[in-house]
Amino acid sequence: MKSVYKILRIVREYNFMEKKLPQRKQNRLANFDYSTEGAYFITICTHHRRKILSRIVGGDVPDAPQKIELYPGGKIADKYIKQLSDFYDGVCVEKYVIMPNHIHLILSVFENGTSRTSSPTRQHSAVSRFVSTLKRFCNKECGFPIWQRSFHDHVIRDGKDYNEIAAYIEGNPLNWENDCFFNEGDDDRENCIEKFAAK
């Protein structure tokens, strides 16, 4: 009988602890089919928002053009972003930028965005499959996980929305220090290069 009470107490404590755990915010729009034709604004962040993809150069001099210098992880991401449009029928990356700790891209889905090979995750949307494949290929080639869990998305509603987002992506390097993903810490270029060299 003591053991039954002990088990009930443990279950009660477990249920109490479970209720106190923070609930993860849903990133996807409820009841929306992300395989439907349309354009999507996607943001994928690095793990712990480490600056391992690129750096913004040329901003020290007023009016100097700022450009992006890709690190090894950014070069790998760039390669797979370009390749995955060919891998998935009906999915196209229309515009993207690889920032120091995140990627922004506009992903267009046509004809339900099916891949050329059968996918074990058919229940997932074309957008999720694309992002998952991109992350998986990058992580495998890098030799270590570089991405945070999940991704941010925005369903592009009309031409005006599309143009604003395209302009945001294009101007993102110029506004890096005002970006919501900007952090003051040093970039992880040396750490990143050491990890690639150790592979």
Query: pLDDT digits over 129-147, tens only?
Result: 899 999 999 999 999 999 9
Tokens (6 digits) for 123: 């229940």
> Amino acid identity, residue 83?
Q
Q: Which whole-number Å values give the CA distances from 84 to 6, 73, 88, 128, 194, in the listed order?
A: 54, 16, 6, 13, 28
**172, 99 in Cβ contact below 8 A?**
yes
- What is the per-residue pLDDT for 28? 47
pTM: 0.72
- What is the per-residue pLDDT for 125? 80
Compute the mean pLDDT over every residue in the chain, rounded to the nearest whole number. 77
Residue 59 DSSP SS3: coil
Q: Which whole-number Å values give the CA distances from 178 to 65, 95, 109, 132, in the listed order?
A: 17, 21, 30, 28
What percentage of the chain has pLDDT greater than the value 70?
63
The pLDDT of 153-167, averaged and rounded, is: 93
Tokens (6 digits) for 17: 């602890």
CATH code at 34-198: 3.30.70.1290
Residues with Cβ within 8 Å of residue 64, at least 6 apart in sequence: 58
**Block residue for tokens 């395989």:** 35
Lowest-pLDDT range, 29-33, 48-52, 122-126, 179-183? 29-33
CB atoms within 10 A of CB 126: 26
- Cα torsion 188, 192, 194, 196 to 10°: value is -170
DSSP assignment letter at 187: P
Q: Domain locations in the chain?
A: 34-198
Q: Is the pLDDT of residue 14 over 70?
A: no
Cα 133 off chain centre by: 11
Q: Is the pLDDT of residue 186 over 50?
A: yes
- Rounded CA-CA distance 85/7 in Å is 54
Band of residue 4 on the pLDDT scale cut at 50, 70, 90: low
